[in-house]
């Protein structure tokens, strides 16, 4: 299990307190810096290496449906990655 530094998805602060879980067992937080409440970005369980591999294939072939079949990764997940790293 990798311990990650929790940061607010809204303001980027790491001054968070855990605030229970969602129904999908995602960690929720309360940010002490700005007072916001939120849910941490879900961890889909892909390593950075695998993510990079999938994204590279995505740029080469550019068919999300094909990637979905090849890698068994939901195309919504890949689409979300693409938005974050153009
Ligand atoms: Zn905040």
Task: Give residue limits of the domains in the chain.
Answer: 1-43, 48-84
Distance (angstroms) between ligand 1 centre and the Cα of 73 equals 31
Is-above-0.85 flag for pTM?
Answer: no
**Which of 38, 21, 22 is CA-nearest to residue 30?**
38
Over residues 7-66, the pLDDT tens digits come to 777 788 889 898 888 777 777 889 999 998 888 765 556 777 888 888 888 888 668 888
Distance (angstroms) between ligand 1 centre and the Cα of 10 equals 5
Q: What is the residue-wise DSSP string for the chain? A: --------TTT----EEEEEE-TT-PEEEEETTT--EEEPPP-----HHHHHHHHHHHHHH--HHHHHHHH---HHHHHHHHHH--
Distance (angstroms) between ligand 1 centre and the Cα of 81 equals 23
Rounded Cα–Cα distance for residues 54 and 1 (Å): 23
Distance (angstroms) between ligand 1 centre and the Cα of 1 equals 25
Distance (angstroms) between ligand 1 centre and the Cα of 66 equals 38
């Amino acid at each position: 299990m990798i311990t990650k530094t929790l940061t607010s998805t809204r303001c980027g602060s790491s001054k968070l307190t855990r605030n229970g879980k969602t129904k999908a067992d995602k960690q929720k937080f309360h940010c002490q810096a700005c007072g916001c409440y939120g849910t941490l970005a879900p961890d889909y369980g892909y390593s950075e290496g695998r993510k990079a591999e999938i994204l590279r294939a995505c740029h080469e072939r550019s068919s999300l449906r094909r990637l979905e079949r090849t890698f068994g990764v939901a195309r919504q997940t890949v689409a979300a990655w693409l938005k974050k790293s153009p």
